[in-house]
Structures are given as C-alpha cells and as structure tokens.
Amino acid sequence: MLKSGEFVNYLTKMFPTATCELEHNSVFELLVAVILSAQCTDKRVNMVTKQLFKTHNTPQDFCDISQEELEAKIRSCGFFKNKAKNIKACARRIVDEFNGQVPTRFEDLTTLAGVGRKTANVVCAVAYGENRIAVDTHVLRVSNRLGFTKSQNPDKCEQDLIKLFKKDLDKLHYRMVLFGRYHCKAIKPECDKCEIKKFCKNFLN
C-alpha cells in the first residue's frame, strides 16, 4: 500500500494551495453553501449563493423567506425542495436553540436539519480550524482505489483516514477532492498521467 507520507507529498505538489472552494463571508453562509453542495458542483453553488447571499445571509433571513421563494432561488442546485426545507429548518433551530449563532460543537452541528457528518466536518475544519476530514464521493473513491479503506461506508472510511494520516486532515480533504474530481475520476480516470497508479486497485485490475 502507498505510504501516507508519500501520498501527502504527491498531492501537495499537485495542489499546493488547495482550500475550500465554496465562497462565503460567515460561518452561516458556509453552512448553507455546504448543504447546497450535496450532489452539486461548487461552481454552481457559488453562482447561486452570489445572488442569494445579497439578500439572505443570516439565520433569521432564512426563517423569514417562504419555502417557495427559497426553492426558486436555489432551484439550479438540484434537490431544491428538500434543500430549501432543510435550510429553513436548520436556520430556525439556530435561531431558537443557539441564539442565532452556528454552533461550534460537532455534536450540536449534526442536530441541525440537513447536516450530517460530512457537512459538520467541513464547517468544523474550515470555520473553526479543527483537524477533521469530510468524506465525499471523491474522497471515498480515491481511498478505496489506493487501499486506504476497504469500506464503501463514508463513516468507516473517515475513521480509517484519521488513523492513517492523523494530522492536516482538512488540507488532505481538499487535495483528495481535487485529485478525485480532475484526475482519479469515477469514469475514465487519467491513469496514464498518474505517478502512483502502481498502488491503485482500479489500475491493477
């Protein structure tokens, strides 16, 4: 199996400045953007939130907006009905239970509507500087191909990566996302350009 340090060095050379690509000016805006990003590209989310956050950027704003109006504003992000419902419920709980402030504890974040481990990990890592890794489809795919995990369960994969890499997990996350998105793609991965393909189960098979 590829050594963790070698993989980190390889990705760091490829993506030295990798960071969260979701544009935001507050923790709450980040939270909303991450919820919208489910099964949607960051580029599309940024296009939507650029307009959305001009008029609605606080939890109370999203409590006050109607379900129908919010759906119309986020429609192009996909699954807009469910996302609008979750964002409004999330905002309401933040206002009612957390005095209008996005909670800082991971455990509290996961009690919010539309917020699972992946979203909570992103918020904790990006907004609060915690050593956490979020497992999305790209991270899960790359981790399985390189043998960092043998599980298709994101939670199990997360634990395997934490044990293996231990530190700078937030940076690792975004580098793995970019690597999976642009190189180690689900369909037609660019194996001919990959310097670590000899460790890849997908290439070897």
Which of the residues are catalytic?
118, 136
Q: Do 105 and 127 touch, CB atoms closer than 8 A?
A: no
Which residue carries 């904790």 as its tokens? 124
User: CB count, 10 Å around CB of 46?
Assistant: 16
CA distance 170 to 175: 9
H or E element that contains 159: helix 154-165
The Cα diameter of the chain in Å comes to 54
Please tell me what DSSP assigns to residue 197.
Answer: G
